[in-house]
Chains A and B, each alone.
Chain A
Amino acid sequence: MLDIEIDGKQVQVEAGSTIMDAAQLVGAYIPHFCYHKKLSIAASCRMCLVHVEKAPKPMPACATPVTAGMKVFTHSELAVTAQKGVMEFLLINHPLDCPICDQGGECQLQDLAVGYGGSASRYEEAKRVVFHKEIGPLVSMQEMARCIHCTRCVRFGQEIAGVMELGMANRNMHSEIQTFVGRTVDSELSGNMIDLCPVGALTSKPFRYSARSWELSRRKSVSPHDSIGSNLTVQIKNNRVMRVLPREDEDINECWLSDKDRFSYEALNSTERLQKPMIRVDGALREVDWNVALDYVSHALKDVAATHGGEAIAALASPHSTLEELYLLQKLTRGLGSGNVDFRPRRRDFSTDGKLAGTPWLGLKLSEIKNLDSALIIGSFLRKDHPLFAQRLRQLAKKSGKVSLISVTSDDSLIKLHSSITVAPAELAVALGGVVKAVAQLKSVPVPLGLESLEPCAASKLIAEALLAGEKNAIFLGNVAEQCAQAAQLHSLAAELASLTGASFGFIGEAANSVGGYVAQALPTALNAYEMFVQPRKAYILLGVEPELDCQNPQHAVAALKQAALVVMLSPFKNDAALDYADVLLPVAPFSETSGSYVNSEGRLQSFSGVCRPLGDTRPAWKVLRVLGNVLAIPGFDYESSEQIRDEIVLPGSRFVGGLDNAIRSDVSVLDAASDGLQRIADVPIYFADPLVRRGLALQLTRDAAVPSARMCAAMLAQLGITDGAHVRVRQGEGEAQLTARVDETVPLNCVRVAAAHASTAGLGDMFGMIHVERA
C-alpha cells in the first residue's frame, strides 16, 4: 500500500493503481472520456490531465501509476487549464447542435462542456465532416461527425466481445471509426458500444429519435431471457417501454447487457400482442370477456377431468415464466388430479428425474468464475446461448485461466481455448468419458466402471491436466448437454469428473428460470414434457410456450395438440400456429407488465415489479391462474399478491434459494455405442430462443436471425452427393423441411446442423435425433 495525497486528502492505495483509481477512493472526480473501468487504458482523450507535484507537465490520471508520497491536484490551475485546453480541442470539430442530437441530455461531452468548455469558440474554420456508416440493424453510425475518437467501442470489441469489428482507420483529424470495408457489426454484445460511446456517434437504431432522455421514467427489472438474470433499467414513456439499459451489478451482468436482453423490448409493443381473451366458437377464435373465457376454461377442464380422469390433462410452461407462475401452474394441474406438468420443453432425457439430490444449478457463483484456474464447458453454443457467461469465460481465459470446450460444433467461441473437442451429439458422453478416464489415469485411481474400453485422446488429456493442475476448477454443462438424449449420462459423468478433480460442476441453464422451475416444483409426477406429447392427452394448458418452436420434438407436440379436445394457451402473443390448435387464448403479461421472480443459474432470487400497465385486457399470468384456481374450487388459491406466492415457495427475505445441489443418485452408466446414420445438431438460434426475442423487430434483421440452412462439412456433402447451396429436403419421422445446404467445416462428420426454434424447421422431430437429407 502506498500513501499519497489527492487534493489535500490522504489516501492509501495499492501499489500499481493509477491516479484515477486513487481519486475514485477519495471521491475526487476527474473528467474523462476514453477511460472506462472495464476497458484497457488508452490515455488518448487527455481529458483527465491532472497536476502532479514535481512533474514538469500535467499527467493523465487514467494512466499514471501512483508512487509513494505523490501529491496530486485535480483542480489546481495547471490541471484545470490543461483540462479546458483539451475540451476546447474536443469541441472544435464536434457539432454544437445538442438540441437535435439523439444523445442530448445524456451526453458526457455535453455534461463536461458545461464545466470545462468556453462560452464561445475561437475556432472559426469549417468543421470536419464524417460520412455516416451502415453497420447493421442495432447500432446506428449515422452521425459520425460527433465522434471524439475515444476508441471505447474499439477496445470493447477487442477486449470484451472478443472480436474487433470496429477500428480507427486513417490518421490525423481524418481518423474515423469504422468496420472493415463493407462489414457489419454482428457481435451478440454490440449494444454495449452504444452505452460506452460518450457522445452521440453510436446510438441505438431502434430507439433513435423516439424520445428524449428526460422524458423517460427509469424502472428496475430483470431480464427474462438467459439464465444470467441480467439486471435491467427499463425506460418508459406513456406506458410504453422505449428502451432497455443495463443496471450495473458486478456479481451478475457487470455493466453489460447482451443484445438479446437489450433489444427484445420491441416485442413488447408488437402488433402480435394478444389483447383480449379468445375462445374457439364454431371453429373460429372469437374475442370474449375474461369472465366468459375463464368460465369456459374451468368448465372444459372439469369436463375432461370428469370424463377421462385428471391424467388426461397436461400442462407445459416455458422456463421463461416467473417463479410464481410456474408454482401456480403446477398447483393448479395437481389440483385437477394430474401429475403431467413440466417446464422443460426442450429436454429429451428425463432419467435423472427423481434421482436428483436437490435443485440443479451452476455449481458456483457467477462472480467466482474470474478466480477459476480452469473451466470445462460441455455441450454449449456458448456465445449464442449465454453471451455474458461466455464473456466472463473470455476474461478468465485472457487472465490465464484455462478454458476448454467439448461440444458438437467448433463454432468460434472467441475465447482463447486451452483445448477443445468437437464430436457428434451421440458421442458427447464418450468424449467426456475420455476426460474422466484421463483424469483417473493421471491420478492413478481405478477407472470408473463403464469407461474401461475408452482411449482418451490428446485433447482429453490436456483437459484432464488442466483440471488437475488448478486449485479452483469448474465443469459446466451447457444447453446441448441438457437437451440431448444422453443428458443423464453427461450429468453423472460430470459428477464423476468433479469428484475426481475436486472441481465444482453445474448447469449453465437454458432460460431465466431454469433453476426456478425446480424450486417451484413445476416437475412431473407422471408424464414429462416429452411424454405428454408422445402419449397424447385430451387437454393441454400451455403457459408462455409456443410448442412448434419451443419443444424438443415439435412434430409430436403439434400432432398431440391438434388431436386434443381442449388447448388452453396463456400467452402475451397470438401466433399463426396457435390459431390452428388453440381453443382458448388468454392474454397474459410479459415480464414488463407483471410482478414476479426469476431464479438465475447461480440460485439468485430476483423479484421485480411490473414496469408498465398491462396492454389492453392483458392480465398477469399469476392472477389468471389464481382466478382459475378459484373458479375450479381448488383449495389454496387465495393469494393477494405475487410476493405472497413467492414467500410460500422460498424463505421470505432470502437472496438465494436453498436446496441447490447437483449430486445425482446413480452410477456412471455404461456408454452407448455411437449410432450409425446422420445425426441432427439443433442449435437454438439466439434470436429465436423465446417468444419475446422472436418478435424483436431489429433483432430479426441481424445476421444471427438468418433463415436456418442445413450445414455440413464438405466431406459429408460430398458423401451425400450434394453441392453447397443446393436445395435439400431434410426429413425426421413424418415431417420434413426444405432448406439450403451449406458447407460448414465446424460441423463434425455424420452430422447436419439444422437449427430448431424456427418456423422453417418446425415440422421436424428431435433436436438431436437421426435425420435424412436428400436433394430436393
Chain B
Amino acid sequence: MAILGAINPMLTVGLDGNNAWRLEDYLGRGGYSALKRILAEKMTPDQVIAEVKKSVLRGRGGAGFPTGLKWSFMPRSFAGDKYVVCNSDEGEPGTFKDRDILLFNPHSVIEGMIIAGYAMGAARGYNYIHGEVWEVYTRFEEALAEARAAGLLGKNILASGVDFELFAHHGYGAYICGEETALLESIEGKKGQPRYKPPFPASVGLYGKPTTINNTETFAAIPFIMNLGGEAYLEAGKPNNGGTKLFSISGHVNRPGNYEIPLGTPFSTLLEMAGGMRGGRKLKGCIPGGSSSPVVPGEIMMGCTMDYDSISKAGSMLGSGAVIVMDETTCMVKALERLSFFYYEESCGQCTPCREGTNWLYKIVHRIENGQGRPEDLDLLGRVTTNIMGRTICALGDAASMPVQSFVKHFRDEFAYHIEHKKCLVPPDVQRAGSGFFKATV
C-alpha cells in the first residue's frame, strides 16, 4: 500500500490496501450513500452543482480550476448526448495518486462520476486510464462490473429513472493524452493530439458533444462533499482551497508515497510525515506540483503551506500535488536535463514551438550537463522558453519551459559553474551517495 499517512482523511479513510476496494467494503464505509440520498431526495442538478461550488473544490489534475464552475458551463438545454470524462491519464513525472485512488478506492470515482453525470445531464461517462498501469485498468473494470451488478450503473439506477453508463478506456502511455482534448481525440480512436480551443469541450467535446473532463481525485472527492456538505468540506481545508488532497512525495525522503492532508497543512508537516529528509540532509529544492511546476528553493519551500494560494505565492503551482524533493546531493543541471528530455520526448509534434523548441531546450541542457556548454547558453535558454511559452496549442509548451526557467533562475550559479568548469558543482560521488545506493567518500 502506497498511501502511507493522512491527517483528517476522507478519500483514504478505512483503506487497508488489500481488499478494501471492493463494493462491499466501500458500502461499509458509507459508500454510495451520497448517490442514494441525491436520488431518494430528488435533489435537483442545480442543487448538486451549488453544493460543489460551496465546497470550493478545485480541480485536482493540476490547473486547480473550480469544479462547480466547470460543471455549470455545460449547456443545460442541449438536447443530444453529453459526456462526463474522467482523466486518469496520470503521466506527469512525480505524480502517482490517481493510480492509488483507482486501485484502493475505485468506487469513490464511480460514485463521483455518476453524481457528476446526474448534475450535468450526461448519461455516459468514460474513464481514460494511463496505459502504463495495467493493473489499475483491470481493477477499475472489476469495480465497474460490481457496480453494474449492484444496479448502480446502467439504465434506471436504483429504480430512480436516472441512467448513467460508465466505461473504462486505457491509453498507451503517451503523456500528451493527459491533456484533456488530446484525451478526447484518443478516446475517439484518433492520434492523441490536443485540439485548438475554442471551442472548449463544454460546447464541443467528445464526438463533438458537450463534455466535462475532471481528474480522478476530483471525482473521488464528490461523494464526500455531498455527504459532508459543501461548507464542511471547505472548512476541512482553508478558504479558497477546500478539502483534503493527496500528495505524492518522491525523491530524497525516507518514506516516499501518497499522503492525504488538508489543504493548508505546512510543508514541513508533510515532510515529517514522509519520514523527513533521507540521511538528514538539507533540502536543496522542491518541485511542489509535478514536473511541470517551477522548482522552489528549499528555504522558501520550508515556509510554504500546501495549498494552491501559498504555492502560487512562492512562484510555483500546486499542480497535481506531486512533491519531488531534492536534497543537496542533487545536480540541478542533471535534474533539469532529465526533465527536459521528458518534455522533448512527449511533445506531440503538432505545433511548431513545442515540437522544435522542446528538442532545442533538451539539446542545450544536455550540452551544458556534458561539459559542452557556452556562456551564452543561459540567455539562449531564456529566449527559447519565451518563444515557446504562450504560443502553443496546449499547455505542454509552457510545462516544458517553466522548469527550465525556474531551474536557471534559482540555480543559475550551478549552471554557470557547469559551463565554466565543464563539470558538476556537486561532485559525482556525492551525487551517487544521495541516490541512497552508494557511500560518499567525502
Which residues of A are at the interface with B, using a C-beta cutoff of 8 A? 41-47, 49, 56-58, 60, 63, 65, 82, 85-86, 88-90, 92-93, 122-123, 125, 148-149, 167-168, 170-175
Contacts and interface: CB of A to CB of B under 8 A. Distances in A.
Contact of A44 (B344, B350, B387): B350
B176 interface: yes
Contact of A86 (B198, B349, B352, B386): B352
Number of chain B interface residues as a range: 20 to 34
A27 B357 CA distance: 32
A44 B360 contact: no
15 contacts: A46-B352, A49-B391, A56-B390, A58-B391, A82-B387, A85-B353, A89-B352, A149-B350, A168-B191, A171-B346, A172-B346, A172-B355, A172-B359, A173-B358, A174-B349
A363 to B, nearest CB: 35
A89 B174 contact: no
A168 B347 CA distance: 14
B422 to A, nearest CB: 17
B253 interface: no
A65 B349 CA distance: 24
B347 A171 contact: yes
Nearest to A57: B390
A89 B350 contact: no
Contacts of A46: 351-353, 391-392
Contacts of A168: 191, 349-350
B390 A175 contact: no
A172 B345 contact: yes
A173 B347 contact: yes
B196 interface: yes
Given A43-B196, A43-B393, A60-B196, A170 B353 contact: no
Which residue among A46, A47, A167 has the maximum number of chain B CB atoms within 10 Å of its CB? A46
Contacts of A123: 360
Contacts of B191: 167-168
A89 B349 contact: no
Given A86-B352, A173-B347, A175-B355, 16 more contacts: A43-B351, A45-B352, A46-B352, A46-B392, A47-B352, A49-B391, A86-B353, A125-B360, A167-B191, A168-B191, A171-B347, A172-B347, A172-B349, A173-B344, A173-B349, A174-B349
A172 B360 contact: no
B166 to A, nearest CB: 29
A366 to B, nearest CB: 30
A88 B387 contact: yes
Interface in B357-399: 357-360, 363, 367, 380, 383, 386-387, 390-393
Nearest to A55: B390
Which residue among B353, B356, B357, B393 has the maximum number of chain A CB atoms within 10 Å of its CB? B356
Contacts, number: 93
B356 A90 contact: yes
A89 B176 contact: no
B143 interface: no
Given A43-B393, A44-B393, A173 B353 contact: no
Contacts of B234: none
B351 A44 contact: yes
Contacts of A56: 390
A86 B176 CA distance: 21
B391 A57 contact: yes
Interface in B199-246: none
Contacts of B344: 172-173
B348 interface: yes
Contacts of B359: 172-173
Given A41-B196, A174-B349, A82 B391 contact: yes
Contacts of A174: 349
Contacts of B351: 43-46
B391 A86 contact: yes
Contacts of A45: 351-352
Nearest to B345: A172
A564 B128 CA distance: 77
Contacts of B391: 46, 49, 57-58, 82, 85-86
A532 B380 CA distance: 81
A490 B380 CA distance: 72
Contact of A149 (B196, B352, B358, B386): B352
Nearest to B387: A85
Q: Which 8 A-B pairs have the closest CB atoms?
A: A175-B349, A57-B390, A85-B387, A89-B356, A43-B196, A172-B347, A173-B359, A44-B351
A171 B353 contact: no
A89 B357 contact: yes
Contacts of A86: 352-353, 387, 391
A171 B346 CA distance: 7
A54 to B, nearest CB: 14
A180 to B, nearest CB: 13
Contacts of B390: 56-58
